[in-house]
A = this chain, B = another copy of it.
Amino acid sequence: MVSCGALHSFLFEYDTPRIVLIRSRKVGLINRAVQLAILAYVIGWVFVWEKGYQETDSVVSSVTTKVKGVTLTNTSTLGARIWDVADYVIPPQEENAVFVMTNVILTLNQRQGHCPELPDDKTECKVKNDCVPGYVSTHSSGIQTGECVPYNSSSSIKTCEVFAWCPVEDDNHIPKPAFLQEAENFTILVKNNIWYPKFNFSKRNILPDINSTYLKNCIYDSETDPFCPIFRLGKIVQAAGQDFQEMAVEGGVMALQINWDCNLDRAASHCVPKYSFRRLDNKDSAHTVSPGYNFRFAKYYKDSNGTESRTLVKAYGIRFDIIVFGKAGKFDVIPTMINIGSGLALFGVATVLCDIVVLYFMKKKYYYREKKYKYVEDYDLVSISEGRVKAKLLPPPNLERFRKRM
C-alpha cells in the first residue's frame, strides 16, 4: 500500500505552513509583547525561580541524639536527690525523638492489694451499696471489691475500695514550679545523616569543615553558630515562642525541624541543614484532652520475701521530635522538555490573541480576513486533467457572513 512514490514524497518533501505577514505596528507590537510575556514566564518563573528543569527527590533520614546535664532536687518526700541522664531520659534511646522528664508524680512502694480509690464524682460513696463489685472503667485504678472505705484517716471522704497497686496514685496536684526546672540548661546533641536515593547523595548535619574542638563546647545559635549540632533545651523552646518553665509543668511536645532543601546542581557544600523549632501539642486546654505530655512507667523491686513492689512514676516532660524533611533538585531532561514543550504550546496563545485583534477589532479586519482565509466553496466535479482539477462553482456564499460575524 505504501508505494515508492509515497515513500519518496514522505522523505524528500518538506511542508511548512504558509504565512501572511501583516505590516501593522499595533498588532506587531501586541504580538511581540505577548510573546515576550510568555517567554518571561517560561524562562523567568518556570526555569529560574521554580527550577522547572530539575527532577526532585525526598530525603531519607536517620537521627541519633544524646542529652547531657545533671540537676539537684530537695523535697521532704525524697530528700536531696541528684538526677542525671539515666534518670530523666525515658526510654534511654528512641529513633527520632527524645523525652526529657521535667516534672514527676512519684507513688512509692506500691504493692498489689486492697485500698480506697482516688476520690472523684464516680468513686465517692456513702454506704457499701454505692460500690459495685467487679466494676471497672477506663479511668479506674483497679477493680472495685464492693466495699466502701474511708479514703484517708484525716478526712471523712469515703470511696469505693479497689484491688489495685496500692496506695493508688494521686495525680491531682502537679508540682508547680516543675520539679526538674533546671532541665532548661540541659543540652541535646543531634546527629543526622540524610540521603537522597535518586541522586545517591548523602550528607551529615555535622559539616565536614567543623572540627571536634569547636564541637566540644559550642551551643547552637541561629545567628552566631547556625551549624553547631548541640542545642540548649531552653533555647529550643524559646525559639518556638514558648516559655520553658510554663511548658515544663504539664509537659509538651516540641519539634526540632531540620530542613534539607538542596540544589544538587551546585557544589555539595551548599547543601546545609536549616534548623527551626515549633510546638506541636495544643496549649489550649479548653479544646483538648490530657493537656501537655505525660506517661506512666514503673520501676519494679522485690523484697527479701519475694514480694514484688513498684514505684509508679507519672512522668511529665518535653518530648523533642526530630523532624527531618526536604527536597533535592537536580537537572533532568524530562521535566525540562515538559516545560519547554508546554511553553512552546503557550506561544500559540499569542497567535490566537493577535488573530482575534486583527480579524475582529481593527478597521481593516475584512481585508485581513480575505488575505488569511481562503474559502473552499462547494463544487461539482467537472474534470481532472493535466494535474489540475476543474470544478464548476456553485453559487457564491452569503456575504452576510462578512458583516455579521462577530
Contact digits for A1-36, partner B, Cβ 8 Å, 1 yes 0 no: 101011001111111111111111101111110000
Decide if A174 is an interface residue (CB 8 Å cutoff). Answer: no
326-383 of chain A: CB within 8 A of chain B: 333-334, 337-346, 348-349, 351, 354-355, 358, 364, 366-368, 370-379, 381
Contact status of A69 and B21, CB under 8 A, knowing A14-B27, A333-B45: no
Q: Among the listed stretches A149-157, A204-212, A242-250, A264-272, which one makes contact with chain B, having 4 or more residues with CB under 8 Å of it?
A: A204-212
CA distance A359 to B186 in the complex (A): 76
Q: Please, could you name 11 A-B residue pairs with CB atoms under 8 Å apart, sorted by A? A: A6-B405, A14-B21, A14-B354, A15-B21, A15-B22, A20-B373, A23-B378, A62-B280, A70-B142, A72-B136, A211-B287
Interface of A is mostly: mixed
Which residue from B14, B22, B255, B315 sits with its C-beta under 8 Å from A13? B22
The complex places the Cα of A367 from the Cα of B388 at a distance, in Å, of 9
Give chain B nearest CB distance to A119 CB in angstroms.
17
Is A53 in the interface zone, CB < 8 Å from B? no
Contact in complex: A13, B21 (CB < 8 Å): yes
Residue A173 CB within 8 A of the other chain: no
Across the interface, do B376 and A22 meet the contact criterion of CB distance under 8 Å?
yes
Cβ contact within 8 Å between A86 and B298: yes
- Which residues on B sit within 8 Å (CB–CB) of A381? 364, 367
Please give, as numbers and ranges, the residues of chain B lying within 8 Å of A142 by CB-CB distance. 70, 72, 82, 84
Given the known inter-chain contacts A95-B321, A342-B345, A345-B344, please indicate yes or no for A189 contacting B289, CB distance below 8 A. yes
**Contact in complex: A60, B20 (CB < 8 Å):** no
What chain B residues lie within 8 Å of A389 (beta carbons)?
Answer: 366-367, 370
The answer to whether A289 and B215 touch across the interface, beta carbons within 8 angstroms, is: yes
Which B residues touch A66, using CB under 8 A?
A: 290, 295
On chain B, the residues within 8 Å of A406 by CB distance are 1, 6
